[in-house]
Amino acid sequence: MPELPEVETVARQLEPELEGHRIESLEVLDERWSRPAPAAKLGAAVSGRTIEGLGRRGKYLLLALDGEQTLVMHLRMTGNLVLVEGEDVLDPSEGRRLYEAERSTSAGHLRARFVLDDGREVWFTDPRRFGEAFLIDDADLDGRFAGKVGIEPLSPEFTPEALGAMAAGRTVPLKSFLLDQSGVAGVGNIYADEALYRARLHPLSPAGSMKPEHLVALRDAVVAALEAGIDRGGSSIDDYRDGRGEKGTMQNEFLVHTREGQPCPSCAGEIVRIVVGGRSTYFCPSCQVKLRKRPRRRRPIARPR
């Protein structure tokens, strides 16, 4: 599933290519991409609009349009947003033919296509068809994400103190804590494993068991893991491609993720795999310390004199 580094890579690559260009037409080829809005309605609402920017919030891509509206897109498990030009550009009938032909294959399904004013196109492809898009007024953006998308880990607001406030009293495992998008936005299965290894924290440790030094280590580790992913254009384990249609290389630099049975980069131990909250989790039992839940302080019992 594309996580923050993959989505950030796409946004950084495509924004300078798209900003200032007019969308001649948006053809939604799959009704599921725009639901509950009808495909034709979303296409008509976006066609003719000028792109003012492309950004990110958590794992969401934000295509800012004139008229103070934003087309919000989520890649979900297998979605890609790719700039297409030259001989690869399709006419509308060919685009629909390609989509229909690939619906039953493992190839990247063309679910929506943006035709720009210079003849280039932007394709949203998605083999498993979980990706989505919706148009929203800019004034409603913050409200739409409130309580669902938490603090941005690459922002100045992501401090050890903020992390501690989120974790206080929580008994949920650290791995599950990091995957909760209402807390830290954009961290998924890959980068949670990588961050916990960098912080030397066991994925099953209760979130509320962290001491100040652990909070500092985890905050720094989350940022370092995400920045490493961005620097390498994201992780292409399965379907992910960047905005140019190319694979990322972060998968070649994993410290623990998917490295079950291989040696730990820091010790002679072996990377193991467990399941936490239904997600495959990789870590080094020798390097990653398992913290204990802090016992509650008991109030002294008043004894009669």
The order of strands in the sheet holding 80-84 is 23-28, 110-116, 121-125, 80-84
Is residue 291 assigned to a domain? no
pLDDT digits (tens, 9 = 90+) for 220-236: 999 999 999 999 999 99
Query: DSSP assignment, residue 251?
Result: G
**Cα separation, 115 vs 83, whole angstroms:** 10
Q: Is the domain of 172 the same as that of 231? A: yes
Average pLDDT, the chain: 92
Q: Which residue has the higher pLDDT, 247 or 97?
A: 247
Query: Distances from the Cα of 297 to the Cαs of 66, 71, 300, in angstroms?
Result: 57, 50, 9
268 pLDDT band, cuts 50/70/90, is: confident
In the residue annotation, 279 being an active-site residue is answered as yes
Give the mean model confidence (pLDDT) for residues 61-68: 98
Q: Tell me, what's the pLDDT at 109?
A: 86
pLDDT digits (tens, 9 = 90+) for 105-133: 334 589 999 999 999 999 999 999 999 99
Contact status, residue 208 vs residue 219, Cβ threshold 8 Å: no
Q: Above 80 in pLDDT, residue 301? A: no
Q: Is the domain of 129 the same as that of 18? A: yes
Is residue 234 assigned to a domain? yes
Q: Which residue has the higher pLDDT, 138 or 101?
A: 138
Q: Is the domain of 184 the same as that of 264? A: yes
Q: Tell me, what's the pLDDT at 294?
A: 58
**Cα separation, 47 vs 39, whole angstroms:** 12
88 pLDDT band, cuts 50/70/90, is: low
In the residue annotation, 300 being an active-site residue is answered as no
Give the mean model confidence (pLDDT) for residues 266-273: 94
Percentage of the chain beyond pLDDT 90 is 85
Q: Tell me, what's the pLDDT at 104?
A: 36
Q: Is the domain of 67 the same as that of 183? A: no
Is residue 299 assigned to a domain? no
Q: Above 50 in pLDDT, residue 103? A: no
Is residue 202 assigned to a domain? yes
- Across the chain, where does the E strand assignment appear? 23-28, 51-57, 60-65, 69-74, 80-84, 110-116, 121-125, 132-137, 272-276, 279-283
Which burial class, exposed, middle or buried, applies to 34 when counting CB atoms under 10 A from its CB (0-12, 13-18, 19+)? buried
In the residue annotation, 293 being an active-site residue is answered as no
Q: Above 70 in pLDDT, residue 290? A: yes
**Cα separation, 254 vs 278, whole angstroms:** 21
List the CATH number of the domain containing 225: 1.10.8.50
DSSP lists the bridge partners of residue 27 as 113
Structure tokens at 295: 């016992």
Q: Is the domain of 30 the same as that of 141? A: yes
pLDDT digits (tens, 9 = 90+) for 188-221: 999 999 999 999 999 999 999 999 999 999 999 9
102 pLDDT band, cuts 50/70/90, is: very low
Q: Whose structure tokens read 């976006």?
A: 46
Name the active-site residue from 244, 247, 279, 290.
279
Is residue 303 assigned to a domain? no
pLDDT digits (tens, 9 = 90+) for 147-162: 999 999 999 999 999 9
Q: Is the domain of 213 the same as that of 253? A: yes
| Structural domain of 99 | 4-145
In the residue annotation, 156 being an active-site residue is answered as no
Q: Tell me, what's the pLDDT at 232?
A: 97
Q: Is the domain of 169 the same as that of 141? A: no
Q: Is the domain of 255 the same as that of 175? A: yes
Q: Tell me, what's the pLDDT at 94?
A: 55
Q: Tell me, what's the pLDDT at 86?
A: 72
Q: Is the domain of 133 the same as that of 165? A: no
Q: Is the domain of 20 the same as that of 132? A: yes
Q: Above 90 in pLDDT, residue 238? A: no
The total number of structural domains in the chain stands at: 2
Is residue 294 assigned to a domain? no
Q: Is the domain of 139 the same as that of 178? A: no
Contact status, residue 194 vs residue 254, Cβ threshold 8 Å: yes
Name the active-site residue from 3, 6, 8, 121.
3
Domain boundary among the residues 115, 145, 175 is at 145
Is residue 206 assigned to a domain? yes
Name the active-site residue from 2, 5, 127, 206.
2
List the CATH number of the domain containing 123: 3.20.190.10
Is residue 297 assigned to a domain? no
Q: How many CB atoms lie within 10 A of CB 145?
A: 17
Q: Is the domain of 171 the same as that of 68? A: no
